[in-house]
C-alpha cells in the first residue's frame, strides 16, 4: 500500500491530478460551511454580473444568482452523482461480468448476448429513453448514466474473470467442495477488485461528462438545484452575450475530469505490476552508452572482441551490474560457448554487442566491443544498423516470440535481405526460399508463405537460423537457440549450425545454460556467473577437468546418456542479486569450498595457457595442467 502511494506520488502528473481533485473534493465537502450567498436566491435586476464583480467573485447568472455559490454547490452535486453512478455501474457491471465469466457456458452466452444488445443500442438514446421512462430529475439521470455503463463494466470484468476462473487455485477450491458463492467471493473477487478499481477510476470522469450531457439535454437536475451540467445547459442561451456563465462551469468540469483522469492513470500505472518494474517502457533503437572511463585496448584478436564490457540496468535508484568487465573473443570459424544460469548475464553480454539490450533500463557504461577494427560501443546508430543482421546476426531463443506473428516467414526473410541489399522483392523471395532450403526445411517454396504460428518449434528455429544467414554474416550470436526445443530437434539444429560454421567459416557465439550442448558444438567455452566470467578454456579441457567449483556443479547437471535415471544435481541456493554484490567471489554463498579469503577482496581471472579461472581454490590446478 505504501509502495502504491509512493509510486503514485512519483508520477508527477498523477500527483498534480490528485491534488486538484482533493482540492475540489474538499471544497465540495466544506461548501455548506463556507460563507457563500444562497445559491438559489434570484435577483434578476442584478443578472449577468461579470467575473470579479463586487460581491460576486465569479459574477452572477441569468437570474442574478451568485455564480461562485452555485459553482461550489453544483460541483458538490456533480461529484456525488459522478461517483455514485460509477459505483452503481461498477457494482452491477462487475456482478454480471463475474457471474458470466465464472459460470461460463450457456449463462455466459446468454448474458453476453444481452450485453451485446445493450452495447449496440446508441447509449445516449438508451439513457434518454430511460430518463423519459422514469421522469426527469438528477437521480433518474444518475440511474440512466449508470445503467448504460453497466455493459462496459460487465464486458471488461467478464474477460478478467474468465482468465481467473481457469487458474489452478480456483480449480483447487472447487475440488475442495466450496460453494460457487464462496469461490466467487473469496477467490475471484479479490483478484478482480484491482481491475474494477482501475476501470472505475477511469470512468468517473466520463460519468460526470455524461451526466452533464444529459443535463445539457435538459434531463438532469430540476431547477433551482445547480449541478455543473445544468449550469452549463442553462447558461448556453447566453453563450454569445455572456460567455462567462458557461465558461465557469465548463472549466470546472474540465478541471474535475482532467484531475480524475490524471489520477486514474496514475492509479492504473501504480497498480500495474509491470509498470512497477519499469517493464512498460519502450526500448530505444540502440542501447544507451554512458561510458565512464577510456576505451580499453582490445585484449585479443579475432573477428569479434569484447574487452571489459560493462552493461548495467538502471532501475530507479538501483543499479544492476548485469555484465561486469567481461572480455571474450571469437575467431572466424570458431564457436565460443557462453554458459551460465539464467541471470548470469550471458544474454545481456550477447545483446550488448549490437546494442540490443533494452534501454531503458539497460546502459553500457564501459568497455570495448570490436567487430574487426570497428569499435561498436558508442558507434553511431547508422553504423550499428549497418552491421546488424548483415555482419553480425542473431538467433534468439523461442522463435514463436521472436518472429513477427503477423508476417509470413518468407516476408520476414525478404525484409532481412532487402534491409541491406537493394534487390527486387522477387529476387529476395527466391533467395529466401533458397535460405529455407539451406536450413533443410522441406517444401521450402510453400513454407515461405506460412505464418510462424503454423510451424513447429524446430521449423521456426530453422527459419530463425535462415534469417541470421540471410546476408552471409561473419558472426552469428545464438542466444539459447535450442532451449525451447525437444532433444531430437535440438540435435538437428546443432548439427545444422555446426555444418554451416564449417562450410562458411562463421564465427559463432553460442549462449546456453546446458553443458551438453556446449560439448557438442563449441571449441571454447566461457562460464559466467553473476555478470562475470569465472572460467574459460577449450571445451574438452573444461569438461574433462573443470577448475571452478561452479563449473563443476554445472557439468554435474547434465544428464549422462545410458544411465537408467537422470541424476540431476541441482545447485542449491540462488545466484546473487547483481545490484548488491558483496566483494569477492559471488558464488561463495553457494560454494562448498568457501573460505574466509573468498569474500574479502576481488578475485582476478587467473590465466594459464588457453585456460583461465576466477577462484582461489580451483578444482584443478591450471598452471600445473598448462605446464604438463
Number of residues that bind another protein (CB under 8 A): 98
Task: Enumerate residues 6+ apart whose C-beta is below 8 A from 352.
Answer: 287, 306, 309, 311, 323, 364, 369
Q: Is 513 in the site for another protein (CB under 8 A)?
A: no
CA distance 361 to 274: 13
Q: Is 37 in the site for another protein (CB under 8 A)?
A: no
Query: Segment 283-342, which members bind another protein (CB under 8 A)?
Result: 283, 285-286
Q: Cell digits for 435? A: 535460405
- Minimum CB–partner distance for residue 128 and another protein (Å): 6
Site mask for another protein (CB under 8 A), range 3-32, x = bound: ----------x-------------------
H-type helices in 505-545, by residue range?
Answer: 515-521, 539-544
Sign for the CA dihedral angle at 432, 434, 436, 439 comes to negative
Nearer to another protein, 30 or 117 (CB): 117
Interface segment toward another protein; rule CB under 8 A; list 34-42, 170-178, 305-313, 608-616: 34-42
Sign for the CA dihedral angle at 173, 179, 181, 185 comes to negative
Contact present, 298 and 464 (Cβ < 8 Å): no
Query: Segment 192-231, which members bind another protein (CB under 8 A)?
Result: 205, 209, 212-213, 216-218, 222-224
- Minimum CB–partner distance for residue 500 and another protein (Å): 18
Q: Is 393 in the site for another protein (CB under 8 A)?
A: yes
Query: Segment 410-429, which members bind another protein (CB under 8 A)?
Result: 415-416, 419-420
- Minimum CB–partner distance for residue 123 and another protein (Å): 5
Q: Dmax of the chain from CA atoms? A: 112
Interface residue with another protein, options 9, 34, 401, 597 (CB under 8 A): 401
Query: Segment 347-366, which members bind another protein (CB under 8 A)?
Result: 351, 354, 356, 358
In the 3-class helix/strand/coil scheme, how is 354-420 assigned residue by residue?
A: CCCCCCCCEEEEEEEEEECCEECCCCCHHHHHHHECCCEEEECCCHHHHCCCCCCHHHHHHHHHHHH
H-type helices in 135-243, by residue range?
Answer: 138-165, 168-175, 180-182, 189-216, 228-235
- Minimum CB–partner distance for residue 566 and another protein (Å): 30
- Minimum CB–partner distance for residue 594 and another protein (Å): 38
Interface segment toward another protein; rule CB under 8 A; list 181-189, 383-391, 480-488, 588-596: 383-391
Site mask for another protein (CB under 8 A), range 465-484, x = bound: --x--x--------------
Site mask for another protein (CB under 8 A), range 235-274, x = bound: -xxxxxxxx--x---x--xx--xx--xx------------
Q: Is 234 in the site for another protein (CB under 8 A)?
A: yes
Interface segment toward another protein; rule CB under 8 A; list 370-378, 392-400, 574-582, 596-604: 392-400
Task: Enumerate residues 6+ apart whose C-beta is below 8 A from 461.
Answer: 395, 399, 481, 482, 484, 485, 489, 493
Q: How long, in residues, is the chain?
A: 628
DSSP annotation of 575: P
Interface residue with another protein, options 308, 310, 334, 390 (CB under 8 A): 390
Q: Is 454 in the site for another protein (CB under 8 A)?
A: yes
Residue 558 C-alpha from the chain's centroid: 33
Contact present, 436 and 422 (Cβ < 8 Å): no
Interface residue with another protein, options 394, 510, 515, 587 (CB under 8 A): 394
Secondary structure class of 51 (helix, strand, coil): coil
- Minimum CB–partner distance for residue 218 and another protein (Å): 5
Query: Segment 57-116, which members bind another protein (CB under 8 A)?
Result: 62-64, 113-114, 116
Contact present, 506 and 500 (Cβ < 8 Å): yes
CA distance 451 to 434: 18
Amino acid at each position: 500500500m505504501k509502495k502504491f502511494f509512493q509510486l503514485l506520488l512519483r508520477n508527477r502528473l498523477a500527483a498534480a491530478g490528485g491534488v486538484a481533485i482533493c482540492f475540489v473534493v474538499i471544497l465540495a465537502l466544506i461548501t455548506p460551511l463556507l460563507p457563500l450567498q444562497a445559491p438559489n436566491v434570484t435577483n434578476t435586476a442584478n443578472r449577468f454580473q461579470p467575473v470579479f464583480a463586487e460581491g460576486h467573485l465569479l459574477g452572477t447568472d441569468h437570474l442574478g444568482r451568485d455564480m461562485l455559490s452555485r459553482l461550489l454547490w453544483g460541483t458538490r452535486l456533480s461529484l456525488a452523482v459522478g461517483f455514485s453512478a460509477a459505483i452503481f455501474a461498477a457494482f452491477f457491471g462487475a456482478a454480471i461480468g463475474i457471474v458470466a465469466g465464472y459460470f461460463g457456458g450457456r449463462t455466459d452466452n446468454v448474458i453476453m448476448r444481452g450485453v451485446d444488445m445493450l452495447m449496440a443500442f446508441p447509449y445516449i438514446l438508451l439513457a434518454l429513453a430511460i430518463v423519459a421512462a422514469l421522469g426527469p430529475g438528477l437521480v433518474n439521470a444518475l440511474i440512466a448514466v449508470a445503467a448504460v455503463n453497466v455493459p462496459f463494466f460487465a464486458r471488461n470484468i467478464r474477460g478478467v474473470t474468465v482468465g481467473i476462473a481457469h487458474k489452478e487455485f480456483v480449480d483447487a477450491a472447487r475440488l475442495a467442495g466450496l460453494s460457487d458463492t464462496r469461490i466467487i467471493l473469496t477467490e475471484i473477487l479479490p483478484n478482480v477488485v484491482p481491475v474494477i478499481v482501475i476501470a472505475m477510476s477511469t470512468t468517473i470522469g466520463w460519468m460526470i461528462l455524461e451526466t452533464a450531457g444529459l443535463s445539457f439535454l435538459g434531463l438532469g437536475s430540476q431547477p433551482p438545484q445547480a449541478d455543473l451540467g445544468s449550469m452549463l445547459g442553462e447558461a448556453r442561451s447566453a453563450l454569445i452575450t455572456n460567455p462567462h456563465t458557461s465558461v465557469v462551469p465548463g472549466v470546472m468540469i474540465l478541471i474535475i475530469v482532467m484531475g480524475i483522469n490524471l489520477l486514474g492513470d496514475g492509479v492504473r500505472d501504480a497498480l500495474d505490476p509491470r509498470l512497477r518494474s519499469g517493464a512498460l517502457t519502450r526500448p530505444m533503437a540502440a542501447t544507451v552508452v554512458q561510458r565512464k572511463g577510456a576505451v580499453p585496448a582490445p585484449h585479443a584478436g579475432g573477428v569479434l572482441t569484447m574487452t571489459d564490457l560493462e552493461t548495467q540496468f538502471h532501475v530507479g535508484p538501483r543499479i544492476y551490474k548485469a555484465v561486469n568487465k567481461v572480455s571474450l573473443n571469437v575467431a572466424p570459424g570458431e564457436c565460443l560457448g557462453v554458459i551460465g544460469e539464467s541471470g548470469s548475464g550471458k544474454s545481456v553480454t550477447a545483446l550488448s554487442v549490437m546494442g540490443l539490450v533494452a534501454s531503458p533500463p539497460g546502459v553500457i557504461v564501459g568497455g570495448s566491443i570490436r567487430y574487426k577494427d570497428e569499435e561498436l560501443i558508442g558507434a553511431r546508430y547508422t553504423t550499428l544498423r549497418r552491421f546488424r543482421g548483415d555482419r553480425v546476426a542473431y538467433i534468439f531463443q523461442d522463435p514463436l516470440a521472436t518472429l513477427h506473428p503477423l508476417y509470413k516467414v518468407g516476408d520476414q526473410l525478404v525484409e532481412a535481405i532487402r534491409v541491406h541489399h537493394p534487390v527486387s522483392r522477387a529476387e529476395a523471395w527466391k533467395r529466401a526460399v533458397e535460405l529455407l532450403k539451406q536450413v533443410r526445411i522441406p517444401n521450402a517454396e510453400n513454407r515461405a508463405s506460412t505464418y510462424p504460428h503454423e510451424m513447429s518449434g524446430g521449423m521456426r528455429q530453422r527459419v530463425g537460423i535462415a534469417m541470421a544467414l540471410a546476408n552471409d554474416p561473419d558472426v552469428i550470436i545464438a542466444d539459447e537457440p535450442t532451449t525451447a526445443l525437444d532433444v531430437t530437434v535440438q540435435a538437428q539444429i546443432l548439427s545444422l549450425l555446426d555444418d554451416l560454421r564449417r562450410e562458411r567459416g562463421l564465427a559463432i557465439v553460442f549462449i546456453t545454460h546446458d553443458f551438453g550442448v556446449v560439448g557438442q558444438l563449441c571449441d571454447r567455452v566461457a562460464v559466467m556467473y553473476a555478470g562475470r566470467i569465472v572460467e574459460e578454456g577449450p571445451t574438452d579441457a573444461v569438461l574433462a577437468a573443470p577448475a571452478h567449483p561452479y563449473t563443476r556443479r554445472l557439468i554435474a547437471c547434465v544428464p549422462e546418456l545410458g544411465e537408467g535415471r537422470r541424476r540431476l544435481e541441482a545447485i542449491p541456493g540462488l545466484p546473487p542479486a547483481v545490484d548488491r554484490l558483496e566483494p569477492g567471489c559471488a558464488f561463495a554463498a553457494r560454494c562448498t569450498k568457501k573460505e574466509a579469503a573468498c569474500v574479502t577482496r576481488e578475485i582476478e581471472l587467473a590465466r594459464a595457457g588457453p585456460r583461465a579461472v576466477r577462484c582461489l581454490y580451483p578444482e584443478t590446478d591450471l598452471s600445473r595442467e598448462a605446464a604438463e
